[in-house]
Amino acid sequence: MPTFRIKEAASLLGVSTDTVRRWADGGRIETTSDASGRLAVDGATLARFAQELAESADHVDGRTVVAHSARNRFSGLVSRVVRDTVMAQVEIQAGPHRFVSLLSREAADELGLQPGMLAVATVKATNVSVEIPQAG
């Protein structure tokens, strides 16, 4: 199983290296040493932790979402909203991921969407491809 240095783990989780170090110091995430003796996180441990973080995203305004059909949910901040007379384009930055949604202007207005507010991008796709990056 691969290991990821703290900087890589932080990037994959969408948080700062300081946050990962605090989580490690506090016992929230288990660390190990890589082949160079540097602090690292085992790949399986990192994957489990990422799932736990994603599951904690099921809280909206202090209320827990009790059911949903889509499994791909990304909490983030609305970074841009462009409205015209009929449609709106909404961008959400969730860690390193940028999501763009097209919805009716009416829906965007009803949700009160504006930059800086917390939102959850829910993605339900019928076709998902998987890529493996070159080891480096």
Query: Between 101 and 64, where is the model more confident?
Result: 101
Domain ranges of the chain: 3-56, 72-123
Q: What is the CA radius of gyration of the chain?
A: 18
* Gap between the Cα atoms of 109 and 81, Å rounded: 10
Task: State which of 11-20, 80-89, 122-131 shows the largest mean pLDDT.
Answer: 80-89
Whether residue 56 contacts residue 15, with contact meaning beta carbons closer than 8 Å, is answered with no
Q: What is the pLDDT of residue 120?
A: 83
Q: What is the pLDDT of residue 81?
A: 94
Segment 3-10 shows an average pLDDT of: 90
Is the per-residue pLDDT at 40 higher than 80?
yes
User: For tokens 């009929």, what's the residue?
Assistant: 86
Query: Between 133 and 11, where is the model more confident?
Result: 11
Tell me the Ramachandran region of residue 27: left when phi exceeds 0, alpha when psi lies from -120 to 50, beta otherwise: left
Task: State which of 35-39, 46-50, 80-84 shows the largest mean pLDDT.
Answer: 80-84
Q: What is the pLDDT of residue 58?
A: 61
Which pLDDT tens digit goes with each residue over 61-95?
566 666 666 678 787 788 899 999 999 999 988 87
CATH of domain 72-123: 2.40.50.100
Q: What is the pLDDT of residue 48?
A: 83
* Gap between the Cα atoms of 8 and 14, Å rounded: 10
Within 6-71, strands assigned E span 32-33, 39-42, 59-60, 63-64
Task: State which of 46-50, 59-63, 85-89, 130-134 shows the largest mean pLDDT.
Answer: 85-89
Q: What is the pTM of this model?
A: 0.54
Record: fold of 3-56: Multidrug-efflux Transporter Regulator; Chain: A; Domain 2 (1.10.1660)
